[in-house]
Each structure stands twice: as C-alpha cells, then as structure tokens.
C-alpha cells in the first residue's frame, strides 16, 4: 500500500501509516505523504525556542535553532543524552518541521 497526500505535521503522517500498517491483507506500507507546513521559518524557530523554555531539563540557552523552509537544525552543547533527545523531540514536534538534524553535543557541566 502506498500512502500519498499532504499533511501539516509529522505526527499526522505517522498516524496515517500506523492506521494502515496493521489492517488485514496489508503486507507493507510506503509512506509518501508530504509534510507541507503552513508556518514561516521564523514561526517554527520561535515555537521550538518556546518549547525549550517550557522543558525543565533542556537548557535553552545552550541550543541554537536554525529553521529554513521546514528544515530545522539544532546546534549547541547540553549536559546529557536525555536533554539532547528531549530537545530533538520538541523540535521535531513543532508545526511546520519537515526535516530535522540534531547536531547538539553532550558535554556534562
């Protein structure tokens, strides 16, 4: 089965695939759904930075957010692998993110 179309958020793309994957008779799923954001790069960056501020374990001051045409790159240094992963999850969950690179490094303070 091949899924096609457009959604605004990554979680919608994943939900469509998960809904189809376990139907009887489905042997495989190719997810060609495109993520088409309806937000500007500045809005994406602002939403990610705001999410970092809300996360108690993420030191927002240590992570730089770059956003352009749906692609987000995180750079900086954090105290732990868990902090790095939380930052990545928050970035990927932001509306309008279609591609993501987590270049944050872990260096315990």
Model's pTM, two decimal places? 0.63
Residues 48 and 101 in one domain: yes
Give the C-alpha separation, 87 to 109, whole Å. Answer: 17
pLDDT in tens, 21-63: 888 888 899 999 988 767 788 888 999 999 988 887 888 889 9
Residues 31 and 59 in one domain: no
> What 3-state DSSP class applies to 83?
helix
Structural domains of the chain, count: 2
DSSP run (H or E) holding 80: none
Tokens 């695939």 sit at which residue?
17
pLDDT in tens, 66-100: 999 889 999 999 989 999 999 999 998 888 888 89
Give the C-alpha separation, 73 to 61, whole Å. Answer: 15
Give the C-alpha separation, 92 to 101, whole Å. Answer: 9
Tokens 């303070």 sit at which residue?
109
Residues 61 and 94 in one domain: yes
């Amino acid at each position: 089965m091949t899924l096609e179309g457009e959604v605004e958020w990554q979680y919608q793309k994943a939900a469509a695939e998960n809904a189809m994957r376990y139907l009887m008779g489905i042997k495989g799923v190719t997810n060609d759904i495109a993520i088409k954001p309806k937000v500007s790069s500045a809005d994406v960056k602002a939403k990610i930075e705001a999410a970092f501020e809300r996360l108690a374990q993420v030191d927002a001051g240590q992570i730089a957010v770059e956003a352009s045409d749906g692609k987000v790159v995180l750079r900086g240094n954090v105290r732990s692998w868990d902090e790095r992963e939380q930052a990545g999850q928050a970035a990927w969950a932001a509306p309008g993110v279609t591609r993501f690179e987590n270049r944050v490094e872990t260096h315990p303070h």
